[in-house]
A and B are shown apart, each in its own frame.
Chain A
Amino acid sequence: MGDFITNEFETSSAAAWKQKIQFELNGADFNETLLTKTNEGITIKPFYHSDDFVKLNIPTSKESFKICNKIIITSENETNLNAISAINKGVNSLKFEASKPFNPDVLFKNLLNKNIVFHFQLRFISEEFINKIAKFLKNETVFFNIDIIGNLAKTGNWYTSLNNDFKSIENIIQLNLNSNILSVNVNLYQNAGANTVQQVAYALAHANEYLTRFGEKIANHIQFNFATGSNYFFEIAKIRAFRYLWNLILNEYNCKAEAKIFSEPSLRNKTIFDLDRNLLRINTENLSAAFGGANTISNNTLDTLNKVIHFKKDLGSNNPQEMVNDSYFIESITKQIAEKALLIFKEIEKSGGFLNQLKEGTIQRKITENTKKEQVQFNNSELVLVGANKYKNNNKTIDSKSFKTIERKKHKTLIIPIIPKRLSEKLEQKQLKNEA
């Protein structure tokens, strides 16, 4: 390319460009007008330039991402048919959510030996059942996603008790050394309102409890379940920052393992006001997950997964994670998220670890601080959900069935539970009341 441009234009420095912008601003203050401060304490500049280029060396995943459909098990037969239909549409991974043991012969009929990756989300813990399923699926790639700390954070209680819970998973791990038994359900923190820096820090500290307990041998068998929101570039940077730090921490254990990242759309920003808008949000979230480097992108509906399938086809041999490399802006926020998350992680470790801070209620308090901040911003329409607190469309029907009201049962808990909370919940209730 060489003289193509050099013979006509001169290169310019970041400083020169800033000067030009100040001229354009015609007296308005640069910082006031053009800088954006985020809840993470990160400042977004109006432009990024190679002069202030910074980046971290992010470990990349070589395998292309899987496209996963999450199905709640109703009857084994019906779920099996839904699963087969999803596979026929191009999905190559399935996540089953179950609240009680199921019959694998029926559920997995015609689904085995097809290179499908299976994920589970079990609402109970049973050594016997998990061992049975692991044996049944011994030739398949399976993620059990058992997260006793996540369950404690979510419900406020252990399944049975600290010792029993740890003993149970220890037994399961012992019997299934090569299976992916554990997960770190970071999505809970996102859905409860933690910011990106907090999510990354908590994911690491949460996982480090398992490393401390079981040693580095389990590092390669933990899945990280992230919820991805629609803050496009921050979500990309979040996953990258996490990958970097996970690698950094494992170095301390003299161990190398690639973080396995599973992404689902966030609940935070979904509303009952306009369902098409939710689909648009999910589509964007899926793109962030792909560019960020998620190993699996999972949705509940095939509508949105179709777009992911199309996107993947269009990528050809390009790895979306690598397409981000060296982007001034994303590399810069990735570095800042990593830097801030590492500080929080170190603080948590210094004060005795994640479990300790959960028991003391510190994690809950920190998340609530951010949740409240966001809620105020939402109520002031600084943080916008189109169709909910801005650009309301009164002709659209409200679909109040699309989200179950999140249960907030008052029962005795060991620790304060972390509760997912959608930003528009209160607004919706108010509106529904007015219409009734």
Chain B
Amino acid sequence: MKRKDFSKLKIEVQNSKDKHFEYEDYIAGAPPFLRGIHTTMYIQTPFKTTNLNNTPISENNFSEIELANFLTESFNTIKNSLQENISIDKAVSKIYFQTIIDKNQFDEIAKFRAARLLWAKMINGFNPKKQESLALKIASVINTSEHALSAILGGCQSLASNETTHLFFEEETGILNTIDPWAGSTYLEKRTEEITNKAWAIFKKENKLN
């Protein structure tokens, strides 16, 4: 067969998404706290790793329940602090979300994103002075090595593990080059939405909020 002429061949680029969720640009754009404290966090301050201690962490199979419980607990702590005349910014500065990673990559990343979104929403109601207060710090605990991948992809600030497997992910996989690298994935955005809505509904019901 005669060799074909491919000189005119061109790729065809599409500029719009098939499905665009209403809230994508809130998570994707500023305020960046929805995607991690700083977009620059891995470059500016390398993320911390600690050895696993024996602090018990409540494990919950359902992300939405885990998140609702965390919000309720934080809500009560904050209210108590405010009664003692501690400012909202000071009250939240010590709170962080500690979570065990044991589910699949997308469920864990969606959980992190939902946690940031709901935290920002809740804290906004208290009118903080500092924008950092709207940013949730996430500390993750892993039991098996591959879960370090989900933890980093979700954008945790610290990782506790009894191994040093995270070094492989940090050094060899290139996953720290960009923040929230799965953002936009229709599947992930939808999963984030599901967890967010369910967790918020539970939180509101538990605390009789409107």
Contacts and interface: CB of A to CB of B under 8 A. Distances in A.
B138 to A, nearest CB: 18
Contacts of A175: none
Interface string B120-144: 1100100000000000000000000
Contact of B29 (A8, A49, A234, A322): A49
A50 B93 CA distance: 31
B209 to A, nearest CB: 14
A34 B14 contact: no
Interface in A246-278: 248-249, 252-253, 269, 277
A200 to B, nearest CB: 12
A385 B25 contact: no
B167 to A, nearest CB: 5
A252 B174 CA distance: 36
Contacts of A287: 105, 149
A280 B6 CA distance: 41
B73 interface: no
A186 B193 CA distance: 40
A342 B9 contact: yes
Contacts of A47: 28, 32, 35, 39, 178-180
A252 B6 contact: yes
Given A21-B40, A54-B15, A56-B14, A327 B6 contact: no
B208 interface: no
Interface stretch (B16-24, B58-66, B84-92): B16-24
B11 interface: yes
A46 B178 contact: yes
A52 B36 CA distance: 21
B7 A24 contact: no
Contact of B43 (A17, A34, A277): A34
Nearest to B18: A326
B57 interface: no
A13 B167 contact: no
Interface residues of B, number: 72
Given A11-B26, A280-B146, A253 B4 contact: yes
A360 interface: no
A428 interface: no
A interface majority secondary structure: helix
Interface string B31-48: 110010011100110000
A384 interface: yes
A233 B184 CA distance: 14
* Residue of A25, A47, A231 ringed by the most chain B CB atoms within 10 A: A47
Contact of B173 (A57, A232, A244): A232
Given A17-B30, A307-B146, A248 B9 contact: yes
A381 to B, nearest CB: 9
B121 A12 contact: no
Interface range, A side: 35 or more
Contacts of A33: 40, 43
A283 B120 CA distance: 35
Given A5-B117, A56-B12, A328-B183, A48 B171 contact: no
Nearest to A9: B26
Interface string B185-200: 1111000010011001
Interface in A338-379: 338-339, 342, 345-346, 349-350, 352-353
A75 to B, nearest CB: 35
B4 A252 contact: yes
B104 interface: yes
B12 A329 contact: no
B9 A249 contact: yes
A147 interface: no
B174 A232 contact: yes
Interface in A201-250: 208, 211-213, 215, 230-234, 244-245, 248-249
A386 B193 contact: no
A338 B14 CA distance: 13
Contacts of A253: 4
Given A57-B14, A232-B175, A281-B168, A329 B181 contact: yes
A249 B2 CA distance: 15
Contacts of A325: 18, 185-187
B180 A390 contact: no
Contact of A326 (B19, B31, B169): B19
A53 B16 contact: yes
Contacts of B11: 56, 244-245, 248, 335, 338-339, 342
A329 B184 contact: yes
Nearest to A30: B40
Interface of B: 1-7, 9-26, 28-32, 35, 38-40, 43-44, 104-106, 117, 120-121, 124, 145-146, 149, 164-165, 167-169, 171-175, 177-188, 193, 196-197, 200
Q: Which 3 A-B pairs have the closest CB atoms?
A: A12-B29, A328-B184, A12-B30
Given A231-B173, A284-B169, A350-B7, 13 more contacts: A1-B193, A1-B197, A20-B39, A47-B178, A50-B17, A54-B13, A212-B3, A323-B185, A324-B185, A327-B181, A342-B9, A349-B7, A384-B171
Interface of A: 1-2, 4-6, 8-14, 16-17, 20-21, 24-25, 33-34, 36, 44-50, 53-57, 208, 211-213, 215, 230-234, 244-245, 248-249, 252-253, 269, 277, 280-281, 283-284, 287, 307, 311, 314-315, 318, 322-331, 335, 338-339, 342, 345-346, 349-350, 352-353, 384-386, 390-391
15 contacts: A1-B21, A1-B196, A2-B22, A4-B121, A5-B117, A8-B124, A24-B40, A47-B39, A47-B178, A57-B12, A252-B9, A323-B187, A335-B11, A345-B6, A386-B171
